[in-house]
Structure 1
């Protein structure tokens, strides 16, 4: 573990991977009726389903992500469970920025991009309100974690 701070403990990779598979399975088995949520307040993120073309195949690839709203935009992070590699969905979104998002109250077409400069700092600070261990988790990765803005198309 990179830090002695026990409050920043994360489960092993296989546990995170299993949780992602189970969450996606619940969403798929329920026909999308379960598995997505709206952000409740400033301390609880919502969950969305992002579908983006694969960078190599062009086939649709879907993932469920945490997010919060920033005006009309949705904001998530490309963190891959705080593991080293970039998440595949983020690599796909960089290759094909136009994507589809399903949130608990509907579907929208979006264009994804990484927040930069002051915008990134502001959105990172907003994530810190949700997750007090954000900086400790991010320190586990060898590169900065992208804050991803999904803008309506």
Structure 2
């Protein structure tokens, strides 16, 4: 993924404000959002080719970050999820640490285990699942290059 010049932040106002605060402080303000850990995810737009950035709650598992494509329980997948299906190479920022990663969808037993871990972090995911018939994706972000600390 190329440099971050020209990255488009989420069009959702409060998310864009969160992202700007996170970036300006290297995550010191924003990494923990209402008591939940958040990261910044940059994907490549599947139609535009532009870089797109959003903030998401995350968990950790075996050196990987885990995120959930809940979209608030909407019947539609979030755009960032559709983008990473088209191009799984992403950029992640956790606090001040920025790294490249490859995204993949968790399946089977791994998905079940990670879903439980993520609902422990953010219990609202359980109610989101009841609002939609779509399978809410659980995504694993596997860092590329040197191992994360």
Q: Please indicate the TM-score interval, normalised by the length of the shorter structure.
A: 0.7 to 0.9
Q: Residue in 2 aligned with 1:12?
A: none
* Shift in Å, 1:142: 2.2
Kindly state the Cα deviation for residue 23 of structure 1 after the two structures are TM-superposed.
Answer: 1.5
Partner of 2:14: 19
- What SS does the corresponding residue of 2:128 show, helix, strand or coil? helix
Q: Offset at 1:59?
A: 1.2
Q: Report the Cα offset of residue 114 of structure 1.
A: 0.7
2:79 aligned partner: 88
In the TM superposition, what is the alpha-carbon distance from 1:112 to its structure 2 partner? 0.4
Query: How high is the TM-score relative to the length of structure 1?
Result: 0.76
In the TM superposition, residue 144 of structure 1 has moved relative to its aligned partner by 1.1
What corresponds to 2:57 in structure 1?
66
Q: Quote the residue 1:104 is aligned against.
A: 95
* Aligned position for 2:31: 37
Question: By how many angstroms is 1:24 displaced?
Answer: 2.6
Which range moved further: 131-140 or 75-84? 131-140
Pairwise CA distance, 1:62: 0.5
TM-score, normalising length from structure 2? 0.78
Cα RMSD after superposing both structures: 2.1
- Mark the runs of 5 or more structure 2 residues left unpaired by the alignment: 1-11, 145-149
Give the 3 Å change call, closer, same or farther, for CA 123–66 of structure 1 in structure 2.
same
Is structure 2 residue 128 aligned with structure 1 residue 127?
A: no
TM-superposed deviation, 1:141 = 1.7
CA distance in 2, matches of 1:21, 1:37: 14
Which structure has the bigger radius of gyration? Answer: 1
